[in-house]
Amino acid sequence: MDTLTELDHMILGVVGLYGPCTGYRVRRVFLESLSPHWSGSAGAIYPALERLTRLELVDSKDDHTTRRQGKLLSLSQAGKKAVATWLKPPLDAGALLDLDPLRTRVRVLGLVPPAQRQRFVASALEQLAALEQETRSMLRDSEAGDDPYHTLVCKGALKSLQARRRWLAEVAAEVASK
């Protein structure tokens, strides 16, 4: 196939942002992301890099500056174009809606007894608060760097966490009213 997945595009983006760099460096970016969606598993990253290289969206050349085995990856002109196309309006439906696993669970919350509903919401609120602290710390780190879009992404993640906490408070009220 020659249509690129979200992962493919994000890999291109990371190579563009951090390249020239090794595949391992790319992988680290995904591993260090808080999102469990970007697992950074070797079995996903390396085959994808190989495919993107074969499609000539990524340039790869052996690194001779060190004796350690390793290739230096960078974004080719075609790769830059692929990123630009990905960001070109109009965005397709899949690019617009977020996916919130808490919303998924709340959808079926009525299936369990009221006491468990309350425990679910209370625990989720606590865990969300903990994540908010982690995200704040990430935001501070990003502000030390020089990439304004990294900072914006951290701010977005933070705002999302806060909005979801406010929403969960509403869920808590509904649950408590029974």
Partner DNA sequence: TGTGACATGTAATATGTTACATGATTGA
Partner DNA sequence: TCAATCATGTAACATATTACATGTCACA
Contacts of 50 (CB under 8 A, 6+ apart): none
Choice between 70 and 136, CB closer to a second copy: 136
Residue 1, interface with DNA (CB under 7 A)?
yes
Q: In the stretch 18-57, what mask flags binding to DNA with x, by CB under 7 A?
A: ----xxxx-xx----------x-xxxx-xxxxxx------
**What is the secondary structure of 48-68 as a DSSP string?**
HHHHHHHTTSEEEEE--SSSS
Rg (the chain; Cα; Å): 20
Residues 20 and 72: beta-carbon distance below 8 Å: yes
The C-alpha atoms of residue 83 and residue 9 are separated, in whole angstroms, by 7
Structure tokens at 106: 């709340």
- Least distance to DNA, CB of residue 47, Å: 6
Query: Which of 74, 54, 52 is closest to 63 using CA atoms?
Result: 74
- Least distance to DNA, CB of residue 66, Å: 6
For residue 22, the partner it binds in DNA, a second copy, none, with Cβ less than 5 to 8 A by kind, is DNA
- Least distance to DNA, CB of residue 7, Å: 4
**What is the secondary structure of 106-139 as a DSSP string?**
HHTGGGS-HHHHHHHHHHHHHHHHHHHHHHHHHH
Residue 139, interface with a second copy (CB under 8 A)?
no
Residue 99, interface with DNA (CB under 7 A)?
no
Question: Would you tell me which residues interact with a second copy (CB under 8 A)?
Answer: 6, 10, 12-14, 16-17, 34-37, 75, 80, 83-84, 86-91, 93-112, 116, 119-120, 122-124, 127-128, 131, 147-150, 152-153, 155-157, 159-160, 162-164, 166-167, 170-171, 174
Binding-site ranges for DNA (CB under 7 A): 1, 3, 5-8, 22-25, 27-28, 39, 41-44, 46-51, 66-71
